[in-house]
Chains A and B, each alone.
Chain A
Amino acid sequence: MESLLNSIDFQYIIGALVKTAIFWIFIMLVVAYMVYAERRVLAVIQNRLGPNRVGWQGLLQPFADLIKFIFKEDIVPLSVNKALYMMAPVIVLVPAMMVLILYPFGPSNVPIPLASTINWVVNWAGSLVGWDIGLNLTTMNLYITNFNVGLLYVFAMTSLGVYGIFIGGWASNSKYSLLGGLRSSAQMISYELSLSLSVIVILLIAGTLDLAKIVEQQSGWGGLRWNIFGGNGHWAMIPAAVIGFIVYLVSAIAETNRIPFDLPEAETELVAGFHTEYSSLKFALFFMAEYVNMTTVSVLATTLFLGGWQGPGVGSLPWLGPVYFLAKVFFFLFLYIWLRGTLPRFRYDQLMSFGWKVLLPTALFNIVFASVLAVLFL
């Protein structure tokens, strides 16, 4: 029993399960409060009050929305393709949630707080029953897991999320849905290219696809070694990294179908696009998937460009890492909402020509430029 409990695999599995549960709850809260934050921040930008009735300052509004969604009538039109209609929200949501296991919240090998207390309590409880549980917890990682092709895995899950959108649009058997679904997914696969290519600059600087290692390499110098400032390479990589950052941000906003790139799902244009025929909980799942995608993209932006959980004092107080990480992620989410309140939307042909004729050549040129700089200076 002792060797089983102390074996690395068992602790890893139990730790991964516990962390997955905690992170999942965290993501659900982030998604729910993103809806609320969006409404409040948009209200401030548009010079009005947002929802401020439910609970103090409206903080219980997401729960009111959730209850409303659950009690709404679930209308399924007669002419839909039942199997695909039901599966589409799931196909969008599951790949979006699968990226959760890679979020690098904090450093690795962080001492577990109250470890000795937990050890003592569990061993004492075991001895009461007669088991000899020799529990000996020491350190944990502040992320669920990590693999050596982490970045490729994130892009793979993003590619799989495109399916739910046009399957949902097609299965709904209506003109608006089909058109919205096809346009939306065409936009997503076009901007996926510039998204992936803009990250290659970071690969040149960091030399690895592993998200935890990329963050660890950005430590020191009071934040001046973040990858957007050239990383641990050389100051000469700054222009390439900044161009990469801008291309990444623009592609990310287009990839997640947000303003200014959200023509396929705007209410005033295409009658809400591919989710026209969806109601109640399935619509809530589509919504949730969009916000989880936004969070994923923001997490990638902070990890790759802004130094992840690095910040002053993380060396001595490792639990400060998640605080910095969340601060940076919330900054990007605020940026999304800010852009929504400020910019008008692109027309669809302007959107596609921008993606193919401006962003993709910029990303390709950036790769060549960064390679030249890397050969000369790194």
Chain B
Amino acid sequence: MDLTQIQGVHVLFLAFAALAVVAAFNIILQRNPIYSAIGLIVVLCSLAVLFLMLYAPFIAAIQIIVYAGAIMVLFVFVIMLLNVRAEDAITDRLKYLKFIAPVFFLLLVGQIAFFVSRVQNPPPPAKIPGSVESIAEGMFTSYVVPFEAASVLILMAIVGSMLLAKREKEEDIVRIEQALAEAQAGEPVIEESNEEAHA
């Protein structure tokens, strides 16, 4: 890579890529889950900037509206409502991992760099996709089936999450316990009918 060929785009890419990687490390290294959530929000926003650089303004805006603006809000709400505290230092059974992990990570980065430097970079075509019109054209003509399937999936997710997170009401719990008690009290009836059947 020729150092005289560095343009503003390269500097911008490196800045936001470095920010994304640092924030991603932050997610796994922090003890307080709220700080991890903030790290993920920073990753999402820097990825949105990278999407803008790749001429995908619609996807960048949707990433911020949906991912950083709704999904992460959900995450942070759950962390706050469950009152998750920072972890205390629990005894690490796998202490040696802390020392070999960076070595393996550097090995992996070396492998990635090796393969990446061998890639024949195709010159980008002149036609730039990514305007809202082209996405709409693709979505509603060739790919309308995944679109409708995604809407059904979201409906299932709405119903499923409401059902799973519902707190059982007191009278329901009492009713269930009564039914269980009656079922256990009624067991001899079943055994008698079994004996009749065998006799």
Contact = CB atoms under 8 A, between A and B. Distances in A.
Consider the complex of A and B and state whether they touch directly, i.e. have CB atoms less than 8 Å apart: yes
Interface of A: 84, 147-149, 152-153, 155-156, 159-160, 162-163, 166-167, 170, 178, 182, 185-186, 189, 192, 196, 209
A162 B57 contact: no
A256 B74 CA distance: 20
A28 B57 CA distance: 30
Nearest to B32: A81
B23 interface: no
Contact of B57 (A147, A159, A166): A147
A189 B76 CA distance: 13
B17 interface: no
Contacts of B58: 149, 152
A186 B73 CA distance: 9
Contacts of B57: 147-149, 152
Contacts of B81: 182
A148 B80 contact: no
Complex A-B, nearest 9 residue pairs according to Cβ-Cβ distance, in ascending order: A159-B69, A152-B61, A156-B64, A149-B57, A156-B65, A156-B61, A149-B61, A170-B80, A159-B65
Given A156-B64, A159-B68, A162-B73, 11 more contacts: A149-B61, A152-B62, A153-B61, A156-B61, A159-B64, A159-B69, A159-B70, A163-B76, A178-B80, A182-B77, A185-B73
Contacts of A156: 61, 64-65, 69
Nearest to B76: A166
A189 B80 contact: no
B34 interface: yes
A152 B58 CA distance: 8
Interface of B: 34, 41, 57-58, 61-62, 64-65, 68-70, 73, 76-77, 80-81, 131-132
Contacts of B62: 152
A84 B35 CA distance: 9
A181 to B, nearest CB: 8
Given A147-B57, A178-B80, A182-B77, A189 B65 contact: no
19 contacts: A148-B131, A149-B57, A152-B58, A152-B61, A152-B62, A152-B65, A156-B61, A159-B65, A160-B68, A162-B69, A163-B73, A166-B76, A167-B76, A170-B80, A178-B80, A182-B80, A182-B81, A189-B69, A189-B73
B76 to A, nearest CB: 7
A160 B38 CA distance: 12
B65 A163 contact: no
A153 B41 CA distance: 17
A160 B69 contact: yes
A182 B80 CA distance: 9
Nearest to B79: A170
A149 B57 CA distance: 7
Nearest to A192: B69
A306 B145 CA distance: 38
A182 B188 CA distance: 53
Nearest to B45: A160
Contacts of A163: 41, 73, 76
Nearest to A84: B34
A276 B73 CA distance: 22
Nearest to A158: B69
| Among A147, A156, A170, residue most surrounded by chain B Cβ atoms (within 10 Å) | A156
| Among B41, B61, B132, residue most surrounded by chain A Cβ atoms (within 10 Å) | B61
| Among B34, B65, B68, residue most surrounded by chain A Cβ atoms (within 10 Å) | B65
Contacts of A84: 34
Contacts of B70: 159, 189
A152 B57 CA distance: 9
A147 to B, nearest CB: 7
Nearest to A209: B132
Nearest to B81: A182
Nearest to A151: B61
Contacts of B77: 166, 182, 185-186
Contacts of A147: 57
Contacts of A152: 57-58, 61-62, 65
Contacts of A162: 69, 73
A166 B111 CA distance: 42
Contacts of B64: 156, 159-160
B136 to A, nearest CB: 11
B80 A149 contact: no
Contacts of B41: 163
B133 to A, nearest CB: 9
Contacts of A209: 132
Nearest to A188: B73
Contacts of A185: 73, 77
Contacts of A170: 34, 80
A167 B81 CA distance: 13
Nearest to B63: A156
B62 to A, nearest CB: 7
A192 B73 CA distance: 13
Nearest to A149: B57
Contacts of A166: 76-77, 80
